[in-house]
Amino acid sequence: MSATPENIDAIRHHAQASVRSLRARISELDDDSIDLILGNARSHYAWQDRPVAEDTLRKLYEITAQGPTSMNSCPARFVFVTSKDGKDRLAKSLKPANLPKVMGAPVTVIVAHDLEFWTHLPFLFPHEDRRPMFEGKAAHIEATAFRNATLQGGYFMIAARALGLDVGAMSGFSNELVDEEFFAETTFKSNFLINLGYADESALFQKLPRFAFDDICSFV
């Protein structure tokens, strides 16, 4: 339902009631669910020969899209590379050590951002016209797009794990070559890659250390 001056209060009350209802049904995830998405989750490098259904990828995007971004700007753009032709094009940009990781994955996702995201704000943020905040301000556009699309990439990985998929985020490639190959004559810029599918756990090694709270956290 679109917001109008006549129904804005009703829409807000409905949104507030929906959040309260959700919190009444579930206040926090159980330990196993937390382990699945972050606590004991792992980055993967080898993959089963098992495809990922398009319906699963569409559901994955729909979950990801619900994550918050500045002014609901949603600057991330996702390219699902599944075909041999697509993988061959992507291979041109990869460091040699990363080639088998990508070629063996059922899906490799290019996480990119659109430098013209702000032109869609009248649809995404209809409360007021925020386009003047960005028009002609290239550095602000780039920083906002990069920061928020990176957040969306993080949401994407957590959502994938929640759906039973495994992920392996990856740099180790040439952004310039990816942009030339996939985004020529567009306003999209690549950020990072995510290999996606059902993992072959035999390639795993031990989980690496993490900092303790007191090592890097503080109160002021």
**pLDDT at residue 83 in the model:** 97
Low-confidence ranges of the chain (pLDDT < 50): none
- For residue 11, the one-letter residue type is I
For 86, residues 6+ apart whose C-beta sits below 8 A from its C-beta are: none
**Which helix (H) or strand (E) is 121 found in, with range?**
helix 121-124
Distance CA 106, CA 51 (A): 6
**pLDDT at residue 5 in the model:** 66
Distance CA 58, CA 56 (A): 5
**pLDDT at residue 2 in the model:** 66
Distance CA 24, CA 188 (A): 41
Distance CA 196, CA 102 (A): 9
**pLDDT at residue 3 in the model:** 66
Take residue 102 and report the two structure tokens written for it. 């990508």
**pLDDT at residue 9 in the model:** 85
